[in-house]
């Protein structure tokens, strides 16, 4: 073998070796793919997803399925370049920068705790929304779950403090408290009126800027509801708030005579407020694919996600726009009976 041929062979081998090594190097990206679906009026591990005690319930049929997004990657388990490349090729998944899912200055354990609290809040908000739709009264208070170390609330607000008001505005829900803080500029003060044990206290905090420039004090809150009967939701490891709409519909269906679905397989997504307002979510493309794979033919879509959803809706999946829980109930009634308006998503 000539010297030139040997040099080319060695160079080619070196390039190949570097390529192989590079393919398995960790990269700061996260792969999002269709996750599992759960029928909110069905069962998980032989247990009802939604259990109601202390109130009459009615038989259900069909499916009202929540949809999820699975992810690979993150600070604790970064994916390699080869996995990212496979994701970029697959049209059913998305590859996004790691910081869009995990804020660079946040502890992953804190993010996991927030996701757990968000899921609990979502379940309670879903129950509240269903009861509001049915005109069933209940009580609610906003409580402190934890404070973030080094932030203004650290050492001043305590776990289980009941937040009565912020700057004199009644704390009617968690978002009201959050919005009151965000309305201040970083460095301005905000006054929390709280009940701690038997005492009522005014706690003054000086706000700071968060990583995205938002104003915060570093407090994690939840809404503690006192419902007139027990509603238990069992979904295993599913986290985050995006299943709220489907939880509400499942609870509503169980508490009302007749079958809301008409026997159809319906899936959907969207956050839910106690008022019944449906909010946007992330990963809509992957959630639609998961819904179609689960056999759904109808997909309830938050109004703010409609334009994005229309760009990649799977064949055979009908998108129905849902602004509120009330709208979603009316749409399902119309689909079941063939009477009434069914608002469709439109391309942006």
For residue 85, how far is the Cα from the chain centroid?
A: 27
Rounded CA gap, 25 and 334, in Å?
53
Query: Which pairs count as long-range contacts for 12-15, CB under 8 Å and 24+ apart, including other chains?
Result: none
Rounded CA gap, 42 and 55, in Å?
18
Instruction: Return phi, psi of residue 192, to 5°.
Output: -95, 125
Rounded CA gap, 105 and 47, in Å?
39
Catalytic-labelled residue, pool 287, 292, 321, 331: 287
Catalytic-labelled residue, pool 242, 254, 292, 331: 242
Reply yes or no on whether 242 is catalytic.
yes
Q: Which helix (H) or strand (E) holds 247?
A: helix 244-255
Q: Is 75 helix (H, G, I), strand (E, B) or coil?
A: coil
Going by C-beta distance under 8 Å and a sequence separation of 6 or more, which residues neighbour residue 149? Answer: none
Residue 164 burial (10 A CB sphere; 0-12, 13-18, 19+):
middle
Under 8 Å between Cβ of 322 and 302: yes
Rounded CA gap, 313 and 328, in Å?
19
Reply yes or no on whether 248 is catalytic.
no
Q: What is the dihedral of CA 231, 237, 238, 244, to 10 degrees?
A: 10
Under 8 Å between Cβ of 345 and 309: yes
Q: Which helix (H) or strand (E) holds 5?
A: helix 3-23
- Which residues have a catalytic role annotated? 242, 287
């Amino acid at each position: 073998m000539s010297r030139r041929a040997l040099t080319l062979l060695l160079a080619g081998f070196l390039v190949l070796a570097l390529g192989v090594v590079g393919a398995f190097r960790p990269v700061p990206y996260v792969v999002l793919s269709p996750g599992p679906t759960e029928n909110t009026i069905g069962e998980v591990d032989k247990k009802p997803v939604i259990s109601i005690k202390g109130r009459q319930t009615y038989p259900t049929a069909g499916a009202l399925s929540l949809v999820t997004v699975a992810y690979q990657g993150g600070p604790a388990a970064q994916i390699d370049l080869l996995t990212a490349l496979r994701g970029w090729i697959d049209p059913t998944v998305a590859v996004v920068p790691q910081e869009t899912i995990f804020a660079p200055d946040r502890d992953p354990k804190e993010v996991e705790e927030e996701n757990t609290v968000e899921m609990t809040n979502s379940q309670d908000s879903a129950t509240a929304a269903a009861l509001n739709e049915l005109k069933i009264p209940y009580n609610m208070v906003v409580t402190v779950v934890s404070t973030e170390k080094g932030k203004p609330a650290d050492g001043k607000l305590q776990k289980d403090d009941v937040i009565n008001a912020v700057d004199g505005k009644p704390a009617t829900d968690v978002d009201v408290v959050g919005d009151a803080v965000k309305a201040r500029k970083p460095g301005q003060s905000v006054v929390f009126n709280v009940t701690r044990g038997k005492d009522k206290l005014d706690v003054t905090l000086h706000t700071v800027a968060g990583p995205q420039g938002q104003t915060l004090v570093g407090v994690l809150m939840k809404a503690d509801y006192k419902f007139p009967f027990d509603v238990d939701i069992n979904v295993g490891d599913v986290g985050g708030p995006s299943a709220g709409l489907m939880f509400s519909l499942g609870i509503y269906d169980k508490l009302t005579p007749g079958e809301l679905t008409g026997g159809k397989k319906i899936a959907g997504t969207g956050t839910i407020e106690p008022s019944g307002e449906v909010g946007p979510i992330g990963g809509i493309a992957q959630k639609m694919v998961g819904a179609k794979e689960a056999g759904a033919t109808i997909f309830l879509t938050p109004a703010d996600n409609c334009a994005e959803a229309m760009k990649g809706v799977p064949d055979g999946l009908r998108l129905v726009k849902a602004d509120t829980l009330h709208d979603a109930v009316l749409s399902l009634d119309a689909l079941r009976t063939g009477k009434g308006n069914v608002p469709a998503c439109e391309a942006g």
